[in-house]
């Protein structure tokens, strides 16, 4: 059974940094695009980043561009999100989501999601 397990959430101060991880199992991780989607308290879903199967291409929402960096280590079946210059409005549950393709549809067509990890930005 495909599983995605996020980790790295927690409480961080404004202006601080945090790194999230998402480890996949039961599928060939290196064949699929991976994405990060978040949901702030009381708000809707927001796609924030996607990365191609090979890791060569990355995409970001304007709200995080220049502050967040997505990467992957296919040898470890792990996706990362490095978050810098964190703001209160980044407080959210962060989900990793597996694309159905290595690119193209893989950035919007998500067949499996993790359970999410909560990041709280507060002093």
Q: Are strands 10-12 and 18-25 parallel, antiparallel or unpaired?
A: unpaired
Q: Are strands 10-12 and 68-73 parallel, antiparallel or unpaired?
A: unpaired
Q: Which stretch binds other proteins (CB under 8 A): 21-29, 53-61, 67-75, 80-88?
A: 53-61
CA–CA distance, 46 with 61 (Å, rounded to integer): 9
Q: Which residues of 79-94 are buried (b: 16+ CB within 10 A; e: fewer)?
A: bbbebeebeeebbbbb
Closest CA to 107 of 97, 118, 92: 97
Residue 24 C-beta: closest distance to other proteins, Å: 14
The site map against other proteins for 14-33 (x = CB under 8 A) is --------------------
Q: Which of 29, 51, 114, 121 binds other proteins (CB under 8 A)?
A: 114
Q: Which of 13, 25, 115, 122 binds other proteins (CB under 8 A)?
A: 115
CA–CA distance, 32 with 18 (Å, rounded to integer): 25
Binding-site residue total for other proteins (CB under 8 A)? 25
User: Does 80 help bind other proteins (rule: CB under 8 A)?
Assistant: no
Residues that bind other proteins (CB under 8 A): 35, 37, 44-47, 50, 59-62, 95, 97, 100, 105, 107-116
């Amino acid at each position: 059974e495909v599983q995605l397990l996020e980790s790295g959430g927690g409480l961080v101060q404004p202006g601080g940094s945090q790194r999230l991880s998402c480890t996949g199992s039961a599928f060939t991780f290196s064949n699929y695009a991976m994405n990060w989607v978040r949901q702030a308290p009381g708000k809707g879903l927001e796609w924030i980043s996607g990365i191609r199967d090979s890791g060569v291409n990355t995409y970001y929402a304007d709200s995080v561009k220049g502050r967040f960096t997505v990467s992957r280590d296919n040898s470890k079946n792990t996706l990362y999100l490095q978050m810098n210059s964190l703001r209160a409005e980044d407080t959210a549950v962060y989900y990793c989501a597996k694309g159905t393709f290595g690119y193209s549809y893989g950035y919007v067509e998500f067949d499996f999601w993790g359970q999410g990890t909560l990041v709280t930005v507060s002093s």
